Amino acid sequence: MKYNGLTCLALVVLAACTPPKLSSTACIVGHDSGFAGTTGNREHITVAQNGSPCIMDMTSGRQGPGFGGEIVKQPLHGTAAIRATAYATMISYVPNRDYVGPDSFELAFGPDFNVTVLVTVAALTGG
């Protein structure tokens, strides 16, 4: 079957609209609100019960090292970690074993830039 350029573009656009699917090895990360360099930013993540860690990256938007940061409020039902790499700050979350439900933690990247990460830990269903 032969495709023209417009058909291929339409297929790419439709593929980009497909919502991510939660699995034991893949989490879902969704941005909520806020402007870089401000307080009140929110990120939403959904992770599978007893699944792999969810890892998000926050790029600094500039060349050079990631912009670091620290966890200022730990999650109640899991473990969060933060690590600066060459070009991004990597944030990971792992829920406690067998936990299902909401959780959250807060990150600070300076006095005027914080992020609250709202977590949903979901049980995977068959199918």
4 inside domain: no
CB-CB contact of 26 with 53 (8 Å): no
The whole-number pLDDT of residue 100 equals: 97
The whole-number pLDDT of residue 88 equals: 79
107 inside domain: yes
Name the burial class of residue 92, with classes exposed (0-12), middle (13-18) and buried (19+) by CB atoms within 10 angstroms of its CB: middle
What is the spatial distance between Cα 44 and Cα 85, in angstroms, rounded to a whole number? 22
Reported pTM: 0.75
3 inside domain: no
77 inside domain: yes
Reply yes or no on whether the pLDDT at 125 is more than 60.
yes
The whole-number pLDDT of residue 43 equals: 87
The whole-number pLDDT of residue 98 equals: 96
pLDDT, tens digit, 9 for 90 and up, residues 29-60: 886 544 555 567 888 999 999 999 999 887 65
103 inside domain: yes
16 inside domain: no
| Residue 47, C-beta contacts closer than 8 angstroms, at least 6 positions apart | 22, 27, 54, 93, 94, 95, 119, 120, 121, 122
Residue 90 corresponds to which tokens in the numbers above? 């990597």
Output 106 or 11, whichever has higher pLDDT. Answer: 106
Look up the CATH number of the domain holding residue 55.
Answer: 2.60.40.1510
pLDDT, tens digit, 9 for 90 and up, residues 66-115: 567 899 999 999 999 998 887 778 899 999 999 999 999 999 887 778 88
Give residue 92's domain range. 23-122
Residue 107 corresponds to which tokens in the numbers above? 């990150």
Number of domains in the chain: 1
